[in-house]
Chain A
């Protein structure tokens, strides 16, 4: 049976193509095309949702194109099930909010038309990843996303640090993509197919070595895209792009792709304990590192970026612990909260023209829309009941707890315990940095002077997302969800709440109030100052960047310089020498052909005589 799933990537792709036409490069036309594309996409995703949820176990497959590639048959098509339907809605809605918001945010930007087309292409690539039925097809969307993130992070290309951030994001995710490509190759050759359904069916038959190697290599790609340690370094720098892009990258596209891939191939990952161990360790390290770094940030957007890194680790940790539903629920909840937070942060940045938290004191008191959005988004992020974040985070912790107990699928118990402890600690730190953010932005007194009023489209999309985020509370209520997403065989089904999680959320609340008390009593000092000299270390993300700079970037640069030097001195000189010697030889030979007709004729006659004589001699 044919489904309309192929429309999901096709519509934004068409919008991107149209937007790239020279005739459509005026601002109103570009905005109209981008908004129409985004609205239609979101509508199609919403229309496809009910039928997919009616029978959540059904998988609709459509083969649109069959390409023989040697021994492999590549069946490009769509694979649409409840997982794809739910994620597609998430992508569609966030992309629409971002497009609406961008109309106002980039009001004075001359490059808005190409920007809007790139956002459409970005959405299209993510939706291709979502509906792809074949790993190679998925890889196409995956790579196009890498390109779009490069273009959009580097949108302010006249700024040096934006260009550098774009190149960094591209290179770091590329390291992961190489692993991804190799992983697809390993699994494809071992299973004889790259079709996702057939590959998952073939998991029990796969040789153990290929399974472990393939899933570990895929994991490298996931770490690159979803900004997990050790490839997390690009995400904080990616804040150099426009704020709506940060919302898009952090909520709907790019980083969600890694989590989606793990969920898509969950049985494959569950079949390899080694991979789960690595994933659990990676997630444990990343969630702590990200949360600590977020706490110490001095820049609003970087704070949110580090927080994303840490929350993504929650999702991957839940998936590593076998908690399929828990991980995906957190993906949805986090997407709505983070998109909201970034767009609200954009309002604040638009108003005060700086990203520094120290200059934002009390700004939100004069911006009711942004303040409400920040409170709803922040409390969802911190996981305070009754916001949706509490349920999702709690179910994540429940999954980790069972893994730590050594029951059911998941990593070895040691890694499980580590993951659970990291998860618990991160709840606290998350509550702390959210409290710090809200305190700084909401603390009295409100600043005087002019604040830039947000444009209408920005306020509209922030309000809409605030409502969405609030509504998600009810959708995510423990009993409402389990039937949404049937977990694949072997994973933990459904959402369960853990007592430990609830207790800790309560402790999180306490941490919020403690911070509040400290903030108001300690001469209204920023709580981060309590960290003293370790603040700088935390802020730089424990110096991972500096380490990479010393360990990888500088050696590569010096090798590149040596290569360039060799090229200039050895190879270039050799080539030029050949050229010069040819010129010299030819100029000594040209004497013969200098245009003296008589000498030509003499040579001709001599040659004829020579031929005649030699023929006579031979015959």
Chain B
């Protein structure tokens, strides 16, 4: 398989992630978009690992790390979202502005 195929797929996934983070208001969806970006990176790592035939499997190993950390991150992120929902009955990020300074 040509290297361009996974790379383009990764770029598309990453762009989709950026769009999700910037455009979505729902905290759960933003988390999912972040996951998309992470997995786009994972795809690239695996693709280059296979392409370069790395003896130490660096690409694959790093991907395992990223997956683990992403799982942990989602755990923390969802906990925050859950707390947000319990307090405010809403997960709209645009309305979670308590820590912002007063508008001048």
> How many CB-defined contacts (below 8 Å) exist between A and B?
19
Q: Name the segment of B51-59, B83-91, B93-101 touching the other chain.
A: B93-101
Roughly how many angstroms separate A602 CA and B97 CA in the complex, as a whole number? 18
Q: Which residues of B contact A448 (CB under 8 A)?
A: none
B100–A595 contact, CB under 8 A? yes
Given contacts A601-B21, A601-B22, contact A595 B104 (CB under 8 A): no
Instruction: Given A587-B104, A590-B104, answer yes or no on A595-B99 (Cβ-Cβ < 8 Å).
Output: yes
Are A602 and B99 in contact, CB atoms less than 8 angstroms apart? no
- Cα distance A543–B77 when bound, in Å? 90
Would you call A605 an interface residue if the criterion is a C-beta within 8 Å of the partner chain's C-beta atoms? yes
Check if A605 sits within 8 Å of B97, measured CB to CB. no
Tell yes or no: B5 within 8 A of A by CB. no
Query: Cβ of B7 < 8 Å from any Cβ of A?
Result: no
User: Which residues of B are found within 8 Å of A602, using beta-carbon distances?
Assistant: 22
Give chain A residues whose Cβ lies under 8 Å from the Cβ of B18.
605
| A residues in contact with B103, CB < 8 Å | 594
* Binary interface encoding of chain B residues 45-67 relative to chain A, with 1 for a CB under 8 A from any of its CBs, else 0: 00000000000000000000000
Tell me the minimal C-beta distance from B23 to chain A in angstroms.
9
Contacts of A591 in B (CB 8 A): 104
> Which B residues lie within 8 Å of A590 (CB)?
104
Q: Interface size (B, Cβ < 8 Å)?
A: 10
Q: For residues 1 through 54 of chain B, which have their beta carbon under 8 Å from a beta carbon of chain A? A: 18, 21-22
User: Taking the nearest CB of chain B, how far is it from the CB of A188, in angstroms?
Assistant: 64
- Which residues from A are CB-within-8-Å of B100? 594-596
Distance in angstroms from A533 CB to nearest chain B CB is 76
Asked if A594 contacts B101 (CB within 8 A), the reply is yes
The reply to whether B101 and A595 contact each other, CB–CB distance below 8 Å, is yes
Question: Which residues of A have CB within 8 Å of B104?
Answer: 587, 590-591, 594
Determine the chain A residues whose CB is within 8 A of the CB of B22 once the complex forms.
598, 601-602, 605
Give, as a whole number of angstroms, the nearest-CB distance from A362 to chain B. 84
Chain B residues near A598: list those with CB within 8 A.
22
- Residues of B near A605 (CB, < 8 A) are 18, 22
Known: A587-B104, A590-B104. A595 touches B21 (CB 8 A): no
Cα–Cα, bound, A282→B82 (Å)? 96
Chain A residues in 8 Å Cβ range of B21:
601
Which residues of chain A from 578 to 619 have a CB within 8 Å of any chain B CB?
A: 587, 590-591, 594-598, 601-602, 605
CA distance in complex: A605, B20 (Å): 13
Which residues of the other chain, A, contact B97 by a CB distance below 8 angstroms?
595
Which residue on chain A has the smallest CB distance to residue B18?
A605
Rounded to whole Å, the gap between the CB of A119 and the closest CB of chain B is 62
Given the complex, which residues of A lie within 8 Å of B99, measured CB to CB?
595
Q: How far is the CB of B36 from chain A (nearest CB, A)?
A: 15
Residue of B with least CB distance to A597: B93
0/1 interface trace, chain A 169-207, chain B, CB 8 Å (1 if under) = 000000000000000000000000000000000000000
- In Å, the complex CA distance between A595 and B103 comes to 9
A597 to B101 alpha-carbon distance, docked (Å): 12
For A594, the chain B residues whose CB sits under 8 A away are 100-101, 103-104
B100 CB → nearest A CB, Å: 3
CA distance A605 to B101 in the complex (A): 24
Instruction: Please measure, in the bound complex, the distance between the C-alpha atom of A367 and the C-alpha atom of B23, giving whole angstroms.
Output: 105
- Could you tell me the distance between the alpha carbons of A597 and B34 in the complex, rounded to whole angstroms? 15
- Name the CB-closest residue of B to A587: B104
A-B contact pairs, 19 of them (CB 8 A): A587-B104, A590-B104, A591-B104, A594-B100, A594-B101, A594-B103, A594-B104, A595-B97, A595-B99, A595-B100, A595-B101, A596-B100, A597-B93, A598-B22, A601-B21, A601-B22, A602-B22, A605-B18, A605-B22
9 closest A-B pairs by CB: A595-B100, A587-B104, A595-B101, A598-B22, A602-B22, A590-B104, A605-B18, A601-B22, A601-B21
